[in-house]
A and B are shown apart, each in its own frame.
Chain A
């Protein structure tokens, strides 16, 4: 009885299926979170296949090189996270702190580059005839008229699908990265204060790798997959 009373969440002495309660809970969360991502991905697949004729080539509107570099950064931050966990297993606090900080930096750089990317889309930098093609695919072309002191907008033409699916998927993932960075910061502060254990480091690692895993899938289907048949010249 005294053992059960002493058991705290994440206590390695209380294990089912060889994992701590915290790990089981984290995996259940990741399973359900993965299903919400899969819902978005499934919707994306259906919308895209049904609108192949109007779906633009992603390479024309999205910066694949920048995002490939972003993917590289996220994969590297995953590796620094496992290195941090290695440090935690070895009770090597300096190593743990160093790699945790690198992981946080990696996540923050990813977010920064995503903000840069979004910003770039909204600026008129790669427009044809002064119109930003990405805006067209974000919300179509809208015309505003000032009527009685108020703006009235009418939808002229263009598809909203490419932009809206792009932003929903990448921003939902971006929110996960942001939460991951905050989560990592709290763990880092805990390590600095000396209140940490191996289980906590493992849980934040699981979440972080999951975010990386999801980005690998999203990067492939949103940025890389090409469905427009090229015209041979």
Chain B
């Protein structure tokens, strides 16, 4: 089957998602493997969230076909995501003075 842009290689995306999941589970054990390292918690969280965002992005872009929609439509449907991030940032004072 030819791979025109409406039919991305789903199996490839699937493999990438699975590899990222395995990597995530491995990274989650970093604090146990390198207990002496001061910044290990921060590095682990950063890596885990980074991989989760990549996975979520892949699902949205390819499985939900967002990559192949019109730009205006993509901007409309991704706006709630921006609002959601604002929600978390606005709650940060609660963290600082909680």
Contacts and interface: CB of A to CB of B under 8 A. Distances in A.
B31 A64 contact: no
A31 B84 CA distance: 10
Contact of B84 (A27, A35, A221, A223): A35
Contact of A233 (B10, B35, B91): B35
A86 B63 CA distance: 11
Nearest to A208: B63
A35 B41 contact: no
Q: Looking at chain B's contact residues, is the secondary structure mostly helix, strand, loop, or mixed?
A: helix
Interface in A113-139: none
Contact of B25 (A31, A81, A212, A224): A224
Contacts of B40: 230
B31 A226 contact: yes
Nearest to A27: B77
Contact of B32 (A34, A49, A230): A230
A42 B44 CA distance: 19
Interface size class of A (residues with CB under 8 A): 35 or more
A189 interface: no
Interface stretch (A1-9, A72-80, A144-152, A155-163): A72-80
Contact of A18 (B63, B73, B84): B73
Contacts of B69: 17-19
Contacts of B7: 86
A75 B87 contact: no
Interface in A38-90: 38-39, 41-43, 45-46, 49-50, 59, 64-65, 68, 71-72, 75-76, 78-79, 81-83, 86
24 contacts: A17-B69, A19-B73, A31-B80, A34-B80, A35-B84, A39-B87, A41-B88, A45-B91, A68-B25, A71-B21, A76-B14, A81-B63, A82-B10, A83-B10, A86-B7, A212-B59, A216-B56, A224-B28, A224-B48, A225-B45, A229-B41, A230-B40, A231-B35, A233-B35
A39 B90 CA distance: 12
Contacts of B83: 35
A32 interface: yes
A30 to B, nearest CB: 7
A166 interface: no
Nearest to B22: A68
Interface string B17-52: 110010011011101100110001100110011011
